[in-house]
Chains A and B, each alone.
Chain A
Amino acid sequence: MNAVRTWERFSLGERMARFTVYFGVVAAIVASLQTVEVIPEFITDAPEQVGDMLRRMWPIAWGFYPEGVQEPLLESLHIATLGTVLAVLMAVPVAFLAARNVTRFAWLNHAAKLVLVSARSVNTLIWALFFVAVFGPGALAGMLAIAFHSIGFTGKLLGEALEEANRGSIEALEASGAPWLAIAIKGYWPQVRPAFWGIVLFRWDINVRESAVLGFVGAGGVGMALDTALNLFQWERAAMILVAIFIVVLIAEIATTQLRKRIL
């Protein structure tokens, strides 16, 4: 007897895998819900606290902008830009090492990928804590923190772009006996250029946001002004700073979108 074969969307293995995932997710959520420490009084108190915060924020201290916001805000932007440049400079060699088609040593690929994953795993603020401990408080620490965290992201995406590069032109250059630098510049660069600019712009956009909070650990920028305002309960000044950050982030997002359209 040959049994009637019925159509099934997923094989038994697929169903088992999916069930395991669903089960794991539900178990994780339930376990977290049961054990997380939440103080109920704080929740019932929340509307009052929010109201209090908004009342203290109003009227926004617009006059504070020229004396206390503009300088740190510019510093934040400089940190973001220089940090991105530094990150790209450091990420390009690592990306070349991580791309399997460029570097033919498996252990080098793995080592480079380990560097990228570790750089990404340590948050910008944690990097900032490290660099503040080394270089002292200030913009230098912030810039290095942005740079070191961004290596992971830019290096990973750039390495993937390199791996997708077409072999044809590379082989042609190799056949002509071109040195490796010429292969990199004339073979790989034209192919990864659009991806490269896309990655750089995207990362810069993220870094502008991140540079605004570096000040909380003393690494310069507008976060320091915000931290001071909050510590002194000057909520109307804090509101001014938040508005300024919001506008800068908005401008950065619009600028990167426009630039991406132009360049790509």
Chain B
Amino acid sequence: MAARTGSSSRAFPPNWAARAAWLAFVVYFFYAASHLELTPARFMAGLEHGGKFVTRLFPPDFHRWQLLAKGMIESLQIAVLASALGVLISAPLALCAARNLMPAWATWPARAVMVLCRSFHPVIVAILFVKAVGFGALAGILALTVASVGFLGKLMTEAIEEISLKQVEAVRATGAPFMSVVTYAVVPQVFSRFVGFVSYETDANLRNSTMVGIVGAGGIGGTLFSAFQRFDYDFVCAIVLTIIALIMIGEVLTARVKKAFGV
């Protein structure tokens, strides 16, 4: 064999494929930026606007707190009910989709439902439900339920597929019917993980429930959108601050719940 020469003996050989990928990405970056007409001039003009905008945000105006409270409570209701419905639907669906417990004819349809639920943004789903059940909280609840089923279903399926089958086998060996196998061999193994997923999804639903109102599906989003359209920026500031506070409280609460269940 020839002695090792030149580049092959270098300790850190240049990775040409990676460099080409980076170069291609930089080219794309400038192409996309020009496509979107992102120019420094426009940006500077925006910053000037931004200064005025920020001064109009403050001080936040909490005078119409009743309207604010009504919207926030509706958002909370949407988040709570969507999470509850989401769990009710996704838990059995995840059981159907778990490949280690169910035959293929059951897993494929269940998985297809989950993919379909996940593929559209909650706002788009909310628009379709606004058409179906009219303006108001119900459309928001249903839209976020669909999103929860897609997300929880996927995570729960993965959790069920990771369980130890020894306990399942042991319970089956006693001649237990299917529901007993689920109750005594599957649920104890996945319960604490499910609690973690559900609290995460409740957080996510709380965030999204402040948004679906923009398309008329109930909650604080509608109030926020109309405040924006009326250039009522100090009220906008009050709403956004309240949303941030609510979501932070929600995160603290779900962290406590996770701790209580040892997730």
Contacts and interface: CB of A to CB of B under 8 A. Distances in A.
Interface in B125-148: 127-128, 131-134, 136-138, 141
A233 B262 CA distance: 51
* Top 6 A-B residue pairs of the complex, sorted by shortest distance between their CB atoms: A17-B260, A135-B46, A42-B134, A139-B36, A32-B77, A78-B32
Contacts of B49: 133-136
Interface residues of A, number: 61
A183 interface: no
Contact of A37 (B123, B136, B259, B260): B136
Interface residues of B, number: 60
A256 to B, nearest CB: 13
Contacts of A79: 36
27 contacts: A21-B261, A25-B84, A29-B81, A32-B77, A32-B81, A36-B141, A37-B137, A38-B136, A38-B137, A38-B138, A39-B134, A39-B136, A42-B134, A42-B136, A49-B133, A75-B35, A82-B38, A117-B251, A121-B244, A121-B247, A126-B240, A129-B236, A209-B120, A210-B121, A216-B215, A242-B124, A246-B120
A8 interface: no
A129 B224 contact: yes
Interface string A122-138: 11011001100111101
A118 B244 contact: yes
A140 interface: yes
Interface string A15-29: 001101100010011
Given A125-B123, A140-B42, A246-B119, A43 B224 contact: no
Contact of A122 (B29, B121, B244): B244
Contacts of A49: 131-134
Question: Interface SS of chain B: helix, strand, loop or mixed?
Answer: helix
B53 A213 contact: no
Contact of A29 (B84, B124, B244): B84
B257 interface: yes
B214 A82 contact: no
A204 B124 CA distance: 19
Interface in B52-102: 53, 73-74, 76-78, 80-81, 84
B43 interface: yes
Given A75-B36, A129-B236, A246-B119, 20 more contacts: A14-B260, A17-B260, A21-B257, A28-B80, A32-B80, A33-B81, A36-B74, A38-B138, A53-B128, A75-B35, A79-B36, A82-B29, A82-B38, A125-B211, A125-B214, A135-B50, A140-B36, A140-B46, A213-B121, A220-B36
B144 to A, nearest CB: 13
Interface in A192-248: 209-210, 212-213, 216-217, 220, 226, 230, 242, 245-246
